[in-house]
């Protein structure tokens, strides 16, 4: 079903989509599973494991908080490793962010100060994660509303440093990049140019909303995963695909899940963009050549 050879196209599993997904698996090359939903052995995990063997699955996490400056929760990581093995996932992705400190969990992804000291801390954590897993580890860029005052690296440099030191890949979230560029007034294309092309192993894409209101950022681009992917995000996808060779492009959808026609339409649009002849960046040709 893929629009471009070697690039799988899929969607993130959500409980509310379960029955619909089961009936429409033929539309997807891959389904992304949030591993945290498999940890409690509940109804959701049973439905997810029912997909094993029916469609390729990838593993994504939301609960690691790798950026918290405290020891990693190794028990959590052990459980995640078990889930990954059971899913047969080819890699595991998490966010380059923090969500909690001991005793308090915002349950929302927060940025890290992009400094050398933070990079050293995260690099150590990434190596621990890698030592616990049997599959490659990917780090995802988040959507953020504020930045730390002491950041010294750009986000692209920060990813390049951490991924370069550890061999971890990057999960490039196009929607987050699009929202950040709009909210913080930077050039998303320059961000993509500054990324080492070889680090991008997977892509997320989604549609958010624009919120007008009494915000310090106006208008606010919210990464709500609620609407069709905007054309501007597809233009960024095209640009990224000319520079990197991801294994898969995953559509994220968390709201208005009853609008399944929009999901299928987005899938078709992703495939159409993958099928478009893209003038490859010279570095990408080299990557594709080295991995084929």
Partner 1 sequence: MLARQAELLEYLTSSPAIFGDNPARLRPPDGFDRRLLDLEARLSHNKRLAKIRSVFARTFEILGTDAEALVREFTDAHPPTAIDTLENARQFCHFLSAHWVRELPAPRHLPDVARCELAMAEVGAAGRPSRGSPPKFAPQQWAECSIRRAPGVKLLRCSYAIRSIFERQSTATVPQLRDTPLAIVMLGGSDRPQVFEVSGFVFELLAALDDFAHSSTLGVTSGLARLLGELAEHELIEVCP
Q: Which is nearer to partner 1, 145 or 286 (CB)?
A: 145
Strands 248-251, 98-101: pairing kind: unpaired
Q: Can you state the angle between helices 74-87 and 116-132, rounded to 10 degrees?
A: 50
Q: Which is nearer to partner 1, 122 or 247 (CB)?
A: 122
For the chain, give me the number of helices (H) and strands (E)? Answer: 10, 12
Least distance in Å: CB of 70 to partner 1? 6
Site for partner 1 in 143-172 (CB under 8 A): 145-146, 148-150
The verdict on 42 binding partner 1 (CB under 8 A) reads yes
The verdict on 123 binding partner 1 (CB under 8 A) reads no
Q: Which is nearer to partner 1, 41 or 289 (CB)?
A: 41
User: What span, in angstroms and rounded, lies between the C-alpha atoms of 238 and 48?
Assistant: 31
CB 97 within 8 A of CB 141: no
Give the sign of the dihedral formed by CA 164, CA 166, CA 167, CA 169.
Answer: negative
Among 113, 136, 182, 196, contact with partner 1 (rule: CB under 8 A): 113
Least distance in Å: CB of 227 to partner 1? 17
Strands 30-34, 57-60: pairing kind: parallel
Q: Which range, of 35-43, 83-91, 171-179, 261-269, touches partner 1 by CB under 8 A? A: 35-43
The verdict on 121 binding partner 1 (CB under 8 A) reads yes
Residues 6+ apart with CB under 8 A from 89: 33, 57, 58, 59, 135
Q: Which residues make up the interface to partner 1 (CB under 8 A)?
A: 36, 40, 42-44, 46, 62-63, 68-70, 98-108, 110, 113, 117-118, 121, 145-146, 148-150, 215-217, 220, 222
């Amino acid at each position: 079903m893929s629009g471009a050879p070697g690039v799988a196209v899929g969607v993130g599993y959500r409980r509310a989509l379960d029955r619909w997904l089961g009936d429409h698996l033929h539309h997807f090359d891959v389904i992304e599973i949030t591993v945290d939903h498999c940890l409690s052995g509940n109804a959701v995990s049973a439905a997810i494991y029912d997909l094993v063997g029916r469609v390729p699955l990838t593993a994504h996490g939301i609960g690691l908080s790798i950026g918290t400056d405290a020891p990693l929760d190794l028990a959590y990581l052990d459980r995640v490793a078990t889930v990954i093995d059971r899913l047969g996932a080819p890699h595991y992705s998490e966010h380059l962010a923090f969500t909690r400190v001991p005793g308090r969990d915002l349950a929302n992804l927060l940025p890290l100060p992009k400094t050398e000291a933070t990079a050293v801390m995260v690099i150590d954590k990434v190596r621990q994660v890698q030592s616990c897993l049997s599959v490659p580890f990917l780090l995802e860029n988040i959507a953020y509303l504020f930045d730390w005052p002491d950041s010294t690296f750009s986000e692209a440099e920060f990813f390049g440093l951490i991924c370069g030191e550890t061999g971890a890949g990057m999960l490039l979230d196009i929607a987050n990049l699009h929202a950040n560029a709009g909210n913080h007034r930077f050039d998303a294309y320059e961000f993509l140019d500054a990324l080492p092309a070889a680090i991008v192993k997977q892509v997320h894409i989604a549609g958010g909303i624009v919120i007008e209101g009494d915000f310090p950022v106006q208008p606010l681009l919210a990464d709500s995963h609620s609407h069709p992917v905007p054309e501007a995000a597809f233009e960024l996808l095209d640009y990224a695909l000319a520079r990197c060779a991801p294994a898969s492009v995953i559509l994220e959808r968390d709201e208005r899940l009853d609008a399944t026609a929009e999901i299928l339409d987005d899938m078709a649009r992703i495939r159409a963009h993958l099928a478009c002849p893209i003038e490859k960046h010279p570095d990408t040709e080299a990557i594709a050549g080295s991995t084929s």
